[in-house]
Structure 1
Amino acid sequence: MDYLSEVLKILEGALKANGSMAVNYAGLLADKLERDGERQQARLLREHLARAPKALAHAQDASRGISLGQPPVDGESRLNTIDISHPQPDREALYLPSAIKARLEEFILSVQHHDQLAQAGASLPARLLVYGPPGTGKTFLARWIAGRLGLPLLTVRCDTLVSSMLGQTSRNLRRVFDYAQQSPSVLFLDEFDALAGARGNERDVGELQRVVIALLQNMDALPDNCILIAATNHEQLLDPAIWRRFGFRLPMPLPDLALRKTLWEKMLGDYLPTKLDLDELASLSAGTTGALIQQVCLDSKRDAVFKGHRVIDENNLFRRLGLTLAIAEGKRLATVEDEIKWLRLWSPKRFSLRVLASLYNISTRQVTTVVKETESDASQGRKSE
């Protein structure tokens, strides 16, 4: 049966007296029928849904304090524990290393063909663990997946989910997972290590260990076709039992040379100068994240717009990259002289005396004086060693 997942969800909603769940999965079934060419069946189903009482369509499960119209809230702060968004499909391109992109496509296909895989005894729960350094695009990836699947994204707010009240965090978790099952959606647990940290540490509080247990229980109770994505910057902190719950795991590495070149080209877009050396740019940006490259591109394009230029200034682009890297390394460049010294040390070939003088609107003599100070400081440092 091609639509078994939706039928089972409609039946589950009916058995639980959860009208919103039954109605929403019936709507999804109608969409799938129409997409597969069964327009008459889809029309009949929608006609029946249109005749359903409004009270049924917005039914609440008061015993658990959730409804489709009202996201779950923390019992202590009364703040929503979920942010709901509706990413647009393919609104932004996703750039990943080829092997990582292949794994992602395998996950997407497994979600889209869950029923066929289940019939063949080859299905896996729709669980994806994404991990890697900050700025590598984990949150963007979750949005992209939701857009690709045409589903709303339910982003769990860990700052409100974790409560100071004994037992409240576990109750919050239960409400979040119950809410996610009421309607087709992608449940996204960001900063996952805050909930799924390894147990057994002597400094752990008993309540924190109970949170991990509650998380495992809720994941086990989640139907296989419910989509769950978890993201963390600190995968080494995750409890070993958590890893076993994810059949799909996706590392998000720093972009390699080829990918950095692609990112620079695509993110600069129409503002890309024709003679820009992308190989040099990719080489000098070694070790950076996609987020940092995006930041430099946006800053450079804004500068071009302010100055009324149709393309970005090449030397200014390299300057912004160098200064952004300096900040990322914790360097404090408080003056123009500090910036000139850093840029000269960072890439002397790119930042000649003339280029620096033009960038900072000063004479080459002034730049020479600053550079000589830098060389003198370096020489004194070598002597002291």
Structure 2
Amino acid sequence: MEFMSEVLKIIEGALKANGSLAANYAGLLADKLASAGEFHQARLIRDQLARAPKALAFAQDASKGVSLGHVPVDGDSRLNTVDVSLPSLDGLSLFLPSAIQFRVDEFLESIRHHDILARAGAALPARLLVYGAPGTGKTMMARWIAAHLNYPLLTVRCDTLVSSMLGQTSRNLRRVFDYAQQAPSVLFLDEFDALASARGNERDVGELQRVVIALLQNMDALPDNTILVAATNHEQLLDPAIWRRFSFRIPMPLPDGELRLKLWKEMLGIYAPRRINWGELAELSNGSTGAVIQQVCLDAKRSAILQGEKVIEAPALFRRLGLMMRLSEGKQFSNQDEEIRWLREWMPKRFSLRVLAKLYGTTVRQIMTITGEISEDGDEEGRGSSNS
């Protein structure tokens, strides 16, 4: 039977006396029936929902958003353990290598056609583990998936979920997983290693081991069509049993040359410098994350706009790239003179004396003094002259 997962959820809501769960999935069933051309059946469901108490009337059209009831809170601090958002595809872009994009598309298709796959005995639980270095797009991935499915994104707040009270973290987990089943949604566990670190470490205490066990039990109790996305920067810390719970596992590598080129062109857009060597830009940003490239583009565009420029000047863009890469390596400059000397050393042809003088609003002679290419008594020395 088509749409069996929605029917089962409606029955589950009725058996649990959970009107919110039943109404949300009834609204979703009506939408799916309408999409399949079964307009009469869809209307019957929506008419029935319209006659329900006002608190449930929101579920007449699940595609326009659902109410998930009261957000779960930590029993000790009373702070929310989940942030609810409704990501939109407007202005949301996710750039991935083709092989990884294929795997993400496969995950989405398995969700959209879960009932068909289930009838054929080929359905997989909607569980996705995303792992990789910071800034590679793991959080964006969760937002992108929720936006494509038109589902709310439930981001678990590990800072409030993990409690110092004995047993409270496990109870918080139970509330979060119950909450995620109230309506079609994407449950997102960021910084997943905070909950799912491997057991057996000598430093572990009983409570931490109980949290992992509670997490495993809650994941096992989830229906296959409840969507769970988890992200971590430290996949090597995860408990081996956790890995087995995820049907889909996607690494998020640093962007390769082709992807870096695409990122630069897309993110600079109409503000790209008029004469820019795209290949040089992609090569110089080797080892950068997508987040670094995005930040460089945003900073450069913002500066150009505030200065009344229609496009970004190439030296200003390369300067921001160099400084951002230094910062991402944990290195900083204590003053502007150090910055100027480093740029001159890094790319002497790109950052000539005249270019540096223009960038920093000073004279060529002053730049030469800073870089040590002119002595205090005025004699030129080193790599260049004022005509560089």
- TM, length-normalised to structure 2: 0.92
Offset at residue 90 of structure 1 (A): 5.1
Tell me, yes or no, if the aligned pair for 2:274 and 2:311 is still in contact at 8 Å: no
Distance in 1 separating the partners of 2:336 and 2:202: 50
Which runs of no fewer than 5 residues in structure 1 stay unpaired? 59-66, 380-385
> Secondary structure at the residue paired with 1:231?
strand
Structure 1 outlier segments of 4+, above 6 Å: none
Aligned length: 368
Once the two structures are superposed, the pairs formed by residues 21-36 of structure 1 within 5 Å of their partners are 21-36=21-36
Distance in 2 separating the partners of 1:229 and 1:77: 26
- Aligned counterpart, 1:249: 249
- Aligned counterpart, 2:62: none
- Aligned counterpart, 2:232: 232
Corresponding position: 1:165 with 2:159: no
Corresponding position: 1:73 with 2:77: no
Offset at residue 326 of structure 1 (A): 1.5
Distance in 2 separating the partners of 1:44 and 1:70: 28
- Aligned counterpart, 1:119: 119
- Aligned counterpart, 1:129: 129
The alpha-carbon distance between structure 1 residues 298 and 316, as it changes in their structure 2 partners (threshold 3 A), is: same
Distance in 2 separating the partners of 1:308 and 1:54: 53
- Matched to 1:208, the amino acid is L
- Aligned counterpart, 1:39: 39
Choose 162-171 or 85-94, whichever is displaced more.
Answer: 85-94
- Aligned counterpart, 2:267: 267
Distance in 1 separating the partners of 2:157 and 2:55: 29
Tell me, yes or no, if the aligned pair for 1:90 and 1:148 is still in contact at 8 Å: no
Distance in 2 separating the partners of 1:272 and 1:332: 27
- Aligned counterpart, 1:330: 330
> Secondary structure at the residue paired with 2:129?
strand
- Aligned counterpart, 1:194: 194
- How much identity, in percent, do the aligned residues show? 71
Tell me, yes or no, if the aligned pair for 1:90 and 1:147 is still in contact at 8 Å: no
CA deviations on 1:105-128 (whole Å, 9 max, x unpaired) are 000000000000001111100000
Corresponding position: 1:8 with 2:8: yes
Distance in 2 separating the partners of 1:184 and 1:158: 22
Distance in 1 separating the partners of 2:296 and 2:209: 42
Once the two structures are superposed, the pairs formed by residues 86-235 of structure 1 within 5 Å of their partners are 86-89=86-89, 91-235=91-235
Distance in 2 separating the partners of 1:238 and 1:78: 28
The alignment's C-alpha RMSD in Å is 1.7
Distance in 1 separating the partners of 2:247 and 2:156: 21
CA deviations on 1:250-295 (whole Å, 9 max, x unpaired) are 1001111111111111011111123211111111111111111111
- TM, length-normalised to structure 1: 0.92
Offset at residue 363 of structure 1 (A): 2.0
Distance in 2 separating the partners of 1:285 and 1:24: 47
Distance in 2 separating the partners of 1:347 and 1:42: 65
Tell me, yes or no, if the aligned pair for 2:84 and 2:153 is still in contact at 8 Å: yes
Offset at residue 351 of structure 1 (A): 1.1
Distance in 1 separating the partners of 2:247 and 2:90: 25
Choose 49-58 or 37-46, whichever is displaced more.
Answer: 49-58
> Secondary structure at the residue paired with 1:130?
strand
CA deviations on 1:201-236 (whole Å, 9 max, x unpaired) are 011110000000000000000000000000000000
Tell me, yes or no, if the aligned pair for 2:94 and 2:137 is still in contact at 8 Å: no
Tell me, yes or no, if the aligned pair for 2:4 and 2:115 is still in contact at 8 Å: yes
Offset at residue 89 of structure 1 (A): 3.0
Offset at residue 4 of structure 1 (A): 0.6
The alpha-carbon distance between structure 1 residues 339 and 10, as it changes in their structure 2 partners (threshold 3 A), is: same
Which runs of no fewer than 5 residues in structure 2 stay unpaired? 59-66, 375-381, 383-388
Tell me, yes or no, if the aligned pair for 2:49 and 2:56 is still in contact at 8 Å: no
- Aligned counterpart, 2:344: 344
> Secondary structure at the residue paired with 1:79?
coil
Tell me, yes or no, if the aligned pair for 2:300 and 2:312 is still in contact at 8 Å: yes
- Matched to 1:75, the amino acid is G
Offset at residue 54 of structure 1 (A): 3.3
Offset at residue 57 of structure 1 (A): 6.4
Offset at residue 70 of structure 1 (A): 0.8
Tell me, yes or no, if the aligned pair for 1:6 and 1:28 is still in contact at 8 Å: yes
- Aligned counterpart, 2:378: none
- Matched to 2:129, the amino acid is L
